[in-house]
Amino acid sequence: MENILDPNLRKIMNADSLIPYERYGSVNSGLEWKQLSGATGSGYECFFIRFKPGGKSVPHLHSGGEEFFVVEGSLTDCDGTVYKAGDFVRFDPGSKHMSYSASGCLLLTIIHGENIEIDTDLSLGSSLLE
């Protein structure tokens, strides 16, 4: 059988060599990431994001939606819901939240539209931070 694959048109990436997460105008020292496809501001992004132990995201609004697969570890959302390795989570357009990982986690994330930082109190309850 003829090989129809052009290896020059394939990209293989992994979660090694993540860089500091700089979004919303500043570096979030609790997060690191690696862009896989799309680009910030393009309306579509796919990336790995690692929450270091104790890392948390800023409160944000999903203009077009967000989906992620928990590759390893666990992530706690601002309402106390815990997502664990193997979970696939989808947030519809207009949803807002922030998340925290006590022990760290790795997510494969897809964003449709934009994630917009919001100035609101979606604080994680103190019991979630212990």
Is residue 1 in some structural domain?
no
Is residue 72 in some structural domain?
yes
Number of compact structural domains in the chain? 1
Average pLDDT (48-53) is 97
Contacts with 106 (C-beta within 8 Å, 6 or more apart), sequence order: 15, 48, 49, 50, 51, 70, 71, 72, 73
Is residue 6 in some structural domain?
no
Whole-prediction pTM: 0.86
Q: What is the pLDDT of residues 71-108, one digit of tens each?
A: 999 999 999 999 999 999 999 999 999 999 999 999 99
Phi, psi for residue 69 in degrees, rounded to 5: -115, 125
CATH number of domain containing 39: 2.60.120.10
Range of the domain at 84: 32-119
State percent of the chain over pLDDT 90: 75
